[in-house]
Amino acid sequence: MMRRNALSIASGLFLLTCLGCGSHAGKESAVPRPEDELRFDVLYRQNCAGCHGADGKNGAALELANPVYQALVDDASLKKWVGNGMPQTQMPAFAISAGGILTDRQIEVLVQGMRRHWAQPVLPDQPKPPNYVEIRTGDPTRGKALFGTFCLSCHKASTQEITSPDYLALMNDQALRSIIVAGRPDIGQPDWRSDKPGTPMGDQDVSDIVSYLAWLRTLTPGQPYPEHREGAE
């Protein structure tokens, strides 16, 4: 009798264990795979917020929530930067095809989510900004003078010293151009219209300033810098 009871108890425990395993396996199968995540808020928080800020602003990197930037950059460029990264900057590649972790569909969700949350209609009476990409060759000598006119009042020797080789080693020409044209309202930096009423930058002005900053960029980032050049000759 005792042996029969022991066998009954063992059988019951085995049945409960099997049922528990089946229930646990069912829960595991309900957990979505990383590549199946298609919610913008989740994808943005996991992949973008660390550099660009929780709401697309107040981060270390470019303010994505800036409507001027959203009006300036096209979908193809956004997808390229998110997917393949931006060379000569700290923007990494996120596409699986480029060694990242996001599918093409997830990158599309991120781009369209930025547009939906942060893009604003462009009014017809607003001035047209300079081009997103450079279409005219810059003149570094003229750019040095323009830097003094438009930029130097804020970007003197301080934590915002953008002429420093340390900073320029982390910023390629396109990144510099994007910030100059779109500005960073989250930290008080004006866009191409500048903080001087009636004196907006033209397309050539932006190209010249970028050319001047590029001329100051060191060829040996992370190594002892050669003698710092004070300006284009």
Per-residue pLDDT of the chain (233 residues; tens, 9 = 90+): 445 554 454 555 444 455 455 445 445 557 779 889 999 999 999 999 999 999 999 999 999 999 999 999 999 999 999 999 999 999 999 999 999 999 999 999 999 999 999 998 876 677 889 999 999 899 999 999 999 999 888 877 555 578 888 889 889 999 999 999 999 999 889 999 887 667 899 999 999 999 999 999 887 766 665 565 555 55
Q: CA 211, CA 36: separation in Å to the nearest integer?
A: 43
Do 112 and 153 share a domain, yes or no? no
pLDDT in tens, 39-75: 999 999 999 999 999 999 999 999 999 999 999 999 9
Domain count, the chain: 2
Residue 135 lies in a domain: no
- Is there a single domain that holds both residue 80 and residue 145? no
Kindly state whether residue 229 falls inside one of the protein's structural domains.
no
Look at residue 5 and tell me if it is in a domain: no
- My answer on whether 170 and 113 are in the same domain is no
> Are 109 and 40 within one domain?
yes
Q: Indicate if 103 and 154 belong to the same structural domain.
A: no
Look at the block and give the residue holding tokens 């595991």.
Answer: 28
| DSSP, residue by residue, the chain | -HHHHHHHHHHHHHHHHHHHHHHHHHHHHHSPPGGG---HHHHHHHHTHHHH-TTSSSSSS--TT-HHHHHHS-HHHHHHHHHH--TTSS----BGGGTSSB-HHHHHHHHHHHHHHH--PPPTTSPPPPPSS--S---HHHHHHHHHHHTTTTSSSSTT-TTSHHHHTT--HHHHHHHHHH-BGGGTB--TT-SSTT----HHHHHHHHHHHHHH--SSTTSPPPPPP-S--
172 and 113 in one domain? no
Domain limits for position 151 = 140-216
Q: Does some domain include residue 195?
A: yes
What's the CATH number where 175 sits? 1.10.760.10
112/166 same-domain check: no
Type of residue numbered 26: G
The pLDDT mean for the chain works out to 84
Q: Establish if 149 belongs to a structural domain.
A: yes
How far apart, in whole angstroms, are the C-alpha atoms of residue 51 and residue 176? Answer: 17
Residues 113 and 147 in one domain: no
Same domain, 113 and 144: no
Residue 62 placed within a domain? yes
Q: Is the pTM for the entire model greater than 0.85?
A: no
Sign of the dihedral defined by the CA atoms of residues 103, 107, 108, 113, in that order: positive
Tell whether 132 is covered by a domain.
Answer: no
